[in-house]
């Protein structure tokens, strides 16, 4: 399931995106008090996988690289063995903890080739933003990338020093159009010039970067935006 806007951007490319407008009559889904989890496959070489919690498959169909689910209800909270599987073969397993009545994200990152697979698990504050606001967070899931900053076209910094496997808190920002750039934190060199986003009133977004990169040419980095769905 792909509940996201896919972006494939190389340093040498200029990519233009459509800006959409929110229908004022649209009803934005609201979170409940259930324990929930969103699953994201951010491993560049693992292939399509299924996620299991304590032996129970929880996604409807296999997730390819950069695919995600909506927030899925989980019957209980507590400690789980989270497995990434292809058929009956377990490719990775790690213990995670889900808090009762809260929403979580589980990103599988790292690579099979160098046995660096790893779960980045986040506790998500997806309360509805204030009027005329949206929420955005940034996560670096590129195993061999530098630390990144994310800035707007007016050079306003939204996120700073995002190292691999780190996730920011959700930032509340004005619901409007943004033109974002991803820069290396140490030398401010441009890695990605992202398409124009229209962050809509009441929506909650996750922007993450992934893939193995060529640091000399600053190519290979991928960026995706997930819109929270319940």
Q: Which CATH number covers residue 210?
A: 2.60.40
Tell me the mean pLDDT in the region 7-18. Answer: 33
Direct distance between the N- and C-terminal alpha carbons of the chain, in angstroms, rounded to an integer = 13
Residue 21 domain boundaries: 1-31+129-230
On whether both 145 and 91 belong to a single domain, the answer is: no
CATH of the domain at 46: 2.60.40.2890
b/e per residue 188-212 (b: at least 16 CB within 10 A): eeebbbbbebbbbbbbbbbbbbbbb
On whether both 7 and 37 belong to a single domain, the answer is: no
Domain boundary among 125, 144, 168: 125
On whether both 8 and 99 belong to a single domain, the answer is: no
pTM beyond cutoff 0.95: no
Cβ neighbour number for residue 181 with a 10 Å cutoff: 15
Token pair listed for 172 = 């509340």
pLDDT digits (tens, 9 = 90+) for 51-105: 999 999 999 999 999 999 999 999 999 999 999 999 999 999 999 999 999 999 9
On whether both 228 and 148 belong to a single domain, the answer is: yes
How would residue 32 be classed by pLDDT, with cut points 50, 70 and 90?
low
Helix (H) or strand (E) segment spanning residue 89: strand 89-98
Query: How many domains in the chain?
Result: 2
Residue 230: its pLDDT value, please? 85
**Looking at the predicted structure, is the pLDDT value of residue 3 above 80?**
no
Domain boundary among 95, 125, 155: 125
On whether both 9 and 98 belong to a single domain, the answer is: no
């Amino acid at each position: 399931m792909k509940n996201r806007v896919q972006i494939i951007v190389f340093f040498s490319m200029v990519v233009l995106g459509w800006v959409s407008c929110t229908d004022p009559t649209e009803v934005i889904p609201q979170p409940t008090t259930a324990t929930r989890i969103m699953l994201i496959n951010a491993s560049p070489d693992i292939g399509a996988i299924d996620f299991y919690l304590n032996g129970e498959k929880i996604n409807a169909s296999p997730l390819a690289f950069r695919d995600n689910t909506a927030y899925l209800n989980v019957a209980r909270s507590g400690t789980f063995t989270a497995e990434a599987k292809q058929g009956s073969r377990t490719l990775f397993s790690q213990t995670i903890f889900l808090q009762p009545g809260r929403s979580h994200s589980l990103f599988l990152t790292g690579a099979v080739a160098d046995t660096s697979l790893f779960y980045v698990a986040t506790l998500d504050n997806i309360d509805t933003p204030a009027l005329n606001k949206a929420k955005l967070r940034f996560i670096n899931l590129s195993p061999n990338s530098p630390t990144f900053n994310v800035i707007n076209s007016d050079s306003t910094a939204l996120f700073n020093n995002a190292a691999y496997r780190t996730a920011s808190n959700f930032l509340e920002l004005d619901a409007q159009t943004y033109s974002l750039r991803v820069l290396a934190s140490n030398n401010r060199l441009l890695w990605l010039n992202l398409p124009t986003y229209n962050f809509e009133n009441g929506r909650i977004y996750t922007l993450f970067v992934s893939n193995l990169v060529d640091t000399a040419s600053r190519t290979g980095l991928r960026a995706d935006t997930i819109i929270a769905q319940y």
